[in-house]
Amino acid sequence: MTDNPANGGRSSRKPEPGPTAAMSGAIEVRQISIGGQSLQVAIKHGGTSVPPLLLFNGIGANWELARPLLEALSHTTAIIFDVPGVGGSPSPLLPYRPSTLARLAAGVVAELGYAEIDVAGVSWGGGIAQQFAHQYPKLCRRLVLAATAPGAIMVPASLSVLWKMATPRRYIDKDYMSKVAPDIYGGAFRKDPSAIASHAGAMHGARSLGYLYQLLALAGWTSLPWLWSLPQPTLVLMGSDDPLVSPINGQILARLIPNAELRMIDDGHLFMVTRPAGTAALIEAFLAGETKHVEPEAGLLSRLVNGTRRLFLTPTGGDQQT
């Protein structure tokens, strides 16, 4: 597989279901092999000419956990796949880095016949989305970062929250999930037990090895050295009551990415699940906007200094509650 599988002049088109595809309502599920790695891919078909949205899920999360958001997208084709070792994708032989997942994702995009896409990532998947946008700037038109941070160099959660995230136990023990979800995810999960039960009911397939590989993938990884160079218009979405990823991390992303805007959502870490309609509306409005060409600023140091000054001396503008 080449570094840019989208090369070759392929035009955007709606993929046809293959012989092994399984349909679930408006969502098609199929197995795709990229470089010898089998991936379970879900495609929510839309009906517009804008590029499809490639979504990277959170750590340990099978694609079904994103179903509320996928179904709330009114006219956007969305693509999501289980990373190796999670859900319907078998574990790889060796650990991998974010650049490896970016290559696999680009391979999926090429296999489906698209020459340009928008990219979104939530939490752990937000780091992979940043890597993809950096690695394939001509393939990625717009970028959405939800409840995420710039990697290892971030404002961390409390030790008690991080400890609960250290293993995939919450994905395989629903009673444990009900107990820890309010502390990990905040927002609606603090008040609505039915939201926890619904989310837990969609969980399956988290494996210890796959979860470990996901933890190792982002160990030591950070996007801070090159955030200033990202050319894509970027929407940063953060939950105002997020115990896992502090909202200040979203402010850092929005300040350091040249053409980024920040929207705060009055919810917790999983607002994409608990507020799917409002989140989908924000994303689709952003994706429908005009793409602007952005020239990167002079350098990282200047960007960091100016961004940090604005971060602490000026209020965040344009926040929107949903």
Residues labelled as active-site residues: 123
47 CB-contact burial (10 Å; exposed 0-12 / middle 13-18 / buried 19+): exposed
Q: Which sign does the torsion angle of CA 259, 263, 268, 270 carry?
A: negative
In one-letter notation, the amino acid at residue 237 is: L
Query: Quick check: 28 and 21 in contact, CB under 8 A?
Result: yes
Separation of alpha carbons 264 and 282, rounded Å: 11
Strand pairing category for 117-122 and 140-146: parallel
The token pair that represents 18 in the structure block: 């293959």
Strand pairing category for 22-24 and 27-34: antiparallel
Query: Of the candidates 77, 216, 210, 71, which has an alpha carbon nearest to the alpha carbon of residue 152?
Result: 216
Coil vs helix vs strand at 13: coil
The token pair that represents 177 in the structure block: 């999930």
Helices (H), 84-123: 98-112
Strand pairing category for 234-239 and 140-146: parallel
CB-side neighbour CA atoms (13 Å) of 182: 8
Say how many residues make up the chain: 322
